[in-house]
């Protein structure tokens, strides 16, 4: 029996494949057996089944002033940067495409792209974020020929609907970012979870929204199973989660797939919040983003980037400058095309 060969794009990526899977690949095990074992390894990383401290507090954690949360996160993050082997054993950080690699190695059915879709997304956690989105981010994106999807927290603060409708009028997309960003929805009892999802869905319907993203990327199997009656896609699972929201979380794939009746569009790029948390400079962040985008394109995946519009994340001159450089770099490379998540889902469903 001839041993299957790794895909051509695998050079430099093989070290991310879990040792148990590498052993199976070389043992002559069937594709079904290898992928079943890989799915068993991925399952604990795809879901974040244990509620973090922020979800167990008797009050909404955003009640703690942002500067205090940022100071604590910065202190912890700089320590965590040097402990990468513990919080990124699987998936590896900052990018792990090992599931895509193994799928191609075995010739398994998968979705790939000849031209790399670039999904620009924002999490809008506050009125500041919404204002900055319109004033700072959308003009840059439009100048580069791009449009973005913004996931807005619907029930934590009064959303300025006039501003939200400006987003749509300019050709961008709106999705739902949970309920109130207290991080409780994934771990709530069924009736309470349903109430929160219903409120988020009602908000989305006002703006034609079909996408969901969980606050802090906290997602349980129960939460994702409950999305299908209300949303057509979810974008809550990172390719490589890094240390946040919990260690060793992610799907090790930059390709969309159907799960629990909705399309899953993984967050394939390292996120601005995690990179700032770990102490990377804006220039280092741009270099990491460009390197990750090229690796994803080489593997036939999709680039899905999350940025936050508040000043403490990407809504400041230094980070905005790097974001603009990234947009211009992507726009100048014919391998990439800017696509809204809703448009990509239509393509995947055969509607476009």
Token look-up 């961008």 returns: 172
Report if residue 159 sits inside a domain.
yes
Q: How far apart are CA 312 and CA 217, in angstroms?
A: 19
Angle at CA of residue 320, ends 315 and 322, nearest 5° = 140
User: CA 209, CA 230: separation in Å to the nearest integer?
Assistant: 10
Q: At which residue do the structure tokens 């905005």 appear? A: 320
For residue 24, being part of any structural domain is answered with no
Query: What was the pLDDT predicted at 117?
Result: 98
Dump strand ranges (E) for 267-322: 303-308
**Residue 94 and residue 286: Cα distance in Å, rounded?**
13
* 63 lies in some domain: no
Q: From its phi and psi, is residue 12 left (phi > 0), alpha (psi between -120 and 50) or beta?
A: left
Alpha helices in the chain (DSSP H): 19-27, 31-46, 53-56, 66-80, 84-87, 98-106, 127-132, 138-143, 161-169, 190-206, 221-225, 272-277, 282-298, 317-331, 341-348
Question: In 3-state terms, what secondary structure has residue 103?
Answer: helix
Tokens at residue 249, please? 């979380």
- Tokens 């460009």 map to which residue? 290
Within a domain: 62: no
The pLDDT value given to residue 11: 87
- Which residue range(s) make up the domain with 262? 98-348
Residue 1: what pLDDT? 45
- pLDDT tens digit at each of 352 positions of the chain: 456 788 999 988 999 999 999 999 989 899 999 999 999 999 999 999 887 666 665 655 566 566 666 666 666 666 676 778 888 999 999 999 999 999 999 999 999 999 999 999 999 999 999 999 999 999 999 999 999 999 999 999 999 999 999 999 999 999 999 999 999 999 999 999 999 999 999 999 999 999 999 999 999 999 999 999 999 999 999 999 988 888 999 999 999 999 999 999 999 999 999 999 899 999 999 999 999 999 999 999 999 999 999 999 999 999 999 999 999 999 999 999 999 999 999 999 998 6
Contact 39, 108 (CB under 8 A): no
- What is the bridge-based pairing of β-strands 257-259 and 262-264? antiparallel
Positive or negative torsion for Cα 205, 232, 118, 293: positive
Q: What pLDDT is attached to residue 335?
A: 97
In a domain, 254, yes or no: yes
What six digits make up the tokens of 54?
Answer: 């922020």
Residue 278 lies in a domain: yes
Secondary structure E strands in the chain: 116-124, 148-152, 173-176, 211-212, 233-234, 257-259, 262-264, 303-308, 336-338
Structurally, the chain folds into a number of domains equal to 1
Query: DSSP assignment, residue 87?
Result: H
Residue 224: inside a domain, yes or no?
yes
| Neighbouring-strand partners of residue 212 | 176, 234
In this structure, what CATH number is given to the domain that contains residue 206? 3.20.20.370
Percent of residues in the chain assigned helix, strand, coil, to nearest 5: 45, 10, 40
Q: Which residues of 123-149 are buried (b: 16+ CB within 10 A; e: fewer)?
A: bbbbeebbbbbbebbbebbeebebbbb
**Residue 41 forms part of a structural domain:** no
Residues 242 and 338: their CA atoms lie apart, in Å, by: 25
* Distant-in-sequence, close-in-space partners of 194: CB < 8 Å, separation ≥ 6: 226
């Amino acid at each position: 029996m001839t041993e299957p060969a790794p895909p051509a794009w695998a050079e430099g990526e093989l070290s991310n494949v879990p040792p148990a899977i590498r052993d199976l690949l070389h043992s002559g095990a069937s594709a079904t057996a290898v992928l079943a074992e890989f799915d068993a390894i991925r399952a604990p990383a795809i879901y974040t089944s244990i509620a973090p401290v922020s979800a167990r507090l008797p009050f909404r954690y955003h009640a703690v002033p942002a500067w205090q949360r940022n100071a604590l996160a910065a202190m912890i993050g700089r320590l965590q940067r040097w402990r990468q082997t513990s919080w990124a054993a699987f998936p590896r950080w900052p990018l792990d495409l090992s599931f895509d690699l193994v799928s191609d190695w075995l010739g398994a059915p998968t979705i790939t792209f000849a031209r790399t879709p670039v999904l620009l997304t924002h999490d809008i956690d506050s009125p500041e974020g919404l204002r900055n989105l319109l004033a700072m981010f959308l003009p840059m994106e439009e100048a580069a020929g791009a449009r973005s999807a913004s996931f807005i927290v619907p029930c934590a603060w009064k959303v300025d609907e006039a501003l939200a409708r400006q987003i749509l009028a300019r050709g961008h997309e709106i999705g739902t970012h949970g309920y109130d960003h207290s991080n409780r929805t994934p771990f709530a009892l069924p009736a309470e979870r349903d109430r929160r999802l219903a409120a988020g869905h009602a908000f989305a319907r006002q703006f034609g929204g079909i996408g969901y993203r969980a606050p802090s990327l906290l997602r349980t199997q129960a939460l994702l199973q409950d999305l299908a009656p209300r949303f057509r896609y979810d974008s809550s699972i990172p390719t490589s989660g890094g240390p946040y929201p919990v260690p060793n979380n992610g799907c090790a794939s930059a390709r969309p797939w159907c799960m629990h009746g909705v399309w899953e569009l993984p967050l394939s790029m390292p996120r601005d919040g995690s990179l700032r948390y770990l102490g990377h400079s804006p220039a280092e962040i741009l270099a990491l983003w460009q390197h990750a985008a090229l690796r994803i394109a080489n593997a036939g995946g999709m680039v899905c980037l999350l940025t936050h519009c508040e000043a403490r994340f990407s809504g400041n001159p230094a980070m905005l400058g790097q974001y603009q450089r990234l947009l211009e770099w992507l726009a100048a490379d014919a391998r990439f095309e800017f696509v809204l998540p809703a448009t990509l889902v239509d393509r995947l469903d055969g509607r476009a």
